[in-house]
Amino acid sequence: MTRTARAFWLRVPGQGEIRSVTLPAPGPEEVLVRALFSGVSRGTETLVYTGAVPDSQYATMRAPFQEGDFPAPVKYGYLSVGTVEQGPERLRGRTVFCLHPHQSAYVVPADAVTVVPEDVPAARAVLAGTVETAANALWDAPPLVGDKVTVIGGGMVGCAVTALLARFPGVRVELVDTDPTRAEVAAALGVDFAMPETATGGRDLVVHASATAAGLQRGLDLLAPEGTVLELSWYGDRQVQLSLGGAFHSGRLTVRSSQVGTVAPARRGSRSYADRMALALDLLADPAFDTLITGRSPFAELPDVLHRLSTGSLPALCHLITYDGE
């Protein structure tokens, strides 16, 4: 019976460490989860790791079950999959997903976990938080049959959106990235690929997820008249400059934000957060999502993994953290 655990903490920006923690006994409507896997959300977590969360966004960027405060010390993360060791009978022994920081075991309310469907491998299920973001985005700006859609930025979120768009009937999808190796990811997801300078124009919808001003500007340039750029990037404390001359006004172009913190207005009246998470896990039955998991490391190496991700020396979409023997 697990009573102690180990957790990853950001001690100061740029320096992480593993700490021992004592777990409370779970109450009647709580569960004790033993972690199997967690996923590193490269974009957001490297911003946290480097201390790049703006002061004005400290409250907005808090993760569920986060401890500490930005910039540090802080325990952060939100892609965890594990097995329920103790809790209500309906959950005992089940594999579950939880928006919890990187930790070998934890106690949370029973309604904070979502059961992973039997046809979804536990390792793939760490992508649930990212696929939830993608599903919410496509509630914000859904394509129509026959639309031409570009996704700019082949990171975790961009590729998750691409994987969902590839399922839409009649929708022609192009993934755009400055890294030519993302062509292999695009092929695995069943869509076209282009570098920014050769990207196809006249697009009805552009989903931007590169977290660069150049990517956002290129998205605007690719739009057909009255087209929309759906902005999924989070820039931390970086400034973004755009040129809104040219066709921006005459073409009646739109830049629309999307953020997973609230259910998209189009479904807010009929879907709860729990419904959206359950949908994300159901969508992960598609093995195409395995393309997004590009490496794995044991939990003890997480401080080094985050350092290497933040410097760019470890290229990754989703890097999987394993808890064997923890």
Q: What is the pLDDT of residues 90-125, one digit of tens each?
A: 999 999 999 999 999 999 999 999 999 999 999 999
- Domains in the chain, number: 2
Angstrom distances, CA of residue 57 to CA of 9, 60, 230, 252, 271: 20, 5, 21, 31, 26
Condensed to tens digits (0 to 9), the pLDDT of residues 221-254 reads: 999 999 999 999 988 778 899 999 989 999 999 9
Condensed to tens digits (0 to 9), the pLDDT of residues 184-220 reads: 999 999 999 999 999 999 999 999 999 999 999 999 9
Q: Do 151 and 223 contact (CB within 8 A), yes or no?
A: no
Q: Give dist(CA 172, CA 165) in Å, integer.
A: 9
Is the predicted pLDDT of residue 42 greater than 90, yes or no? Answer: no
Indicate whether 14 belongs to any domain. yes
Q: What integer is the mean pLDDT of 13-30?
A: 96
Phi, psi of 102 (to 5 degrees): -65, 110
Q: Please write down the long-range contacts of 196-204, taking CB distance under 8 Å and 24 or more positions apart.
A: 196/152, 199/150, 199/152, 199/174, 200/148, 200/150, 200/174, 202/148, 203/148, 203/149, 203/150, 203/174, 203/227, 204/143, 204/144, 204/147, 204/148, 204/149, 204/228
Examine the domain organization and report whether 68 and 105 are in the same domain: yes
Indicate whether 262 belongs to any domain. no
User: Rounded to the nearest 5 degrees, what angle is found at the Cα of 152, between the Cα atoms of 242 and 126?
Assistant: 125
Indicate whether 186 belongs to any domain. yes
Is the predicted pLDDT of residue 68 greater than 90, yes or no? Answer: yes
Task: Report DSSP state, residue 196.
Answer: G
Condensed to tens digits (0 to 9), the pLDDT of residues 271-309 reads: 999 999 999 999 999 999 999 999 999 999 999 999 999
Residue identified by tokens 């087209």 is 227
| Residue at which a domain ends, from 214, 230, 257 | 257
Tokens read off for 5: 């655990």
Secondary structure tally for the chain: helices H, strands E: 8, 17
Indicate whether 294 belongs to any domain. yes
Q: Do 21 and 6 contact (CB within 8 A), yes or no?
A: yes
State if pTM tops 0.85.
yes
Examine the domain organization and report whether 45 and 157 are in the same domain: no
Percent with pLDDT over 90 in the chain: 92
Domain of residue 222, CATH code: 3.40.50.720
Residue 197 CB: number of other CB atoms within 10 A? 8
Indicate whether 230 belongs to any domain. yes
| Residue at which a domain ends, from 209, 232, 257 | 257
Indicate whether 135 belongs to any domain. no
Domain of residue 117, CATH code: 3.90.180.10
Rg (CA), the chain: 20
Phi, psi of 79 (to 5 degrees): -130, 85
Indicate whether 125 belongs to any domain. yes
Examine the domain organization and report whether 166 and 243 are in the same domain: yes
Examine the domain organization and report whether 37 and 82 are in the same domain: yes
Examine the domain organization and report whether 8 and 126 are in the same domain: yes
How many CA atoms does the CB half-sphere of 264 hold within 13 Å? Answer: 19
Indicate whether 111 belongs to any domain. yes
Examine the domain organization and report whether 29 and 118 are in the same domain: yes
Percent with pLDDT over 70 in the chain: 99
Average pLDDT, the chain: 96
Examine the domain organization and report whether 37 and 88 are in the same domain: yes
Is the predicted pLDDT of residue 1 greater than 70, yes or no? Answer: no
DSSP code string of 102-136? SBSEEEEEGGGEEEPPTTS-TTGGGGHHHHHHHHH
From the list 136, 93, 85, 103, the residue with the least C-alpha distance to 35 is: 103
Examine the domain organization and report whether 243 and 153 are in the same domain: yes
Examine the domain organization and report whether 102 and 159 are in the same domain: no
Sign of the Cα pseudo-torsion (92, 93, 97, 98, in order): positive
Residue identified by tokens 């006249």 is 202
Angstrom distances, CA of residue 67 to CA of 9, 22, 70: 9, 14, 10
Condensed to tens digits (0 to 9), the pLDDT of residues 75-89 reads: 999 999 999 999 999
Examine the domain organization and report whether 164 and 247 are in the same domain: yes
Q: Do 13 and 7 contact (CB within 8 A), yes or no?
A: no
- Structural domain boundaries enclosing 75: 4-130+270-322
Residue identified by tokens 């180990």 is 6
Examine the domain organization and report whether 162 and 232 are in the same domain: yes
Give 278-304 as a 3 state SS string.
HHHHHHCCCHHHHHHEEEEEEHHHHHH
Examine the domain organization and report whether 83 and 199 are in the same domain: no
| Residue at which a domain ends, from 216, 234, 257 | 257
SS3 73: coil
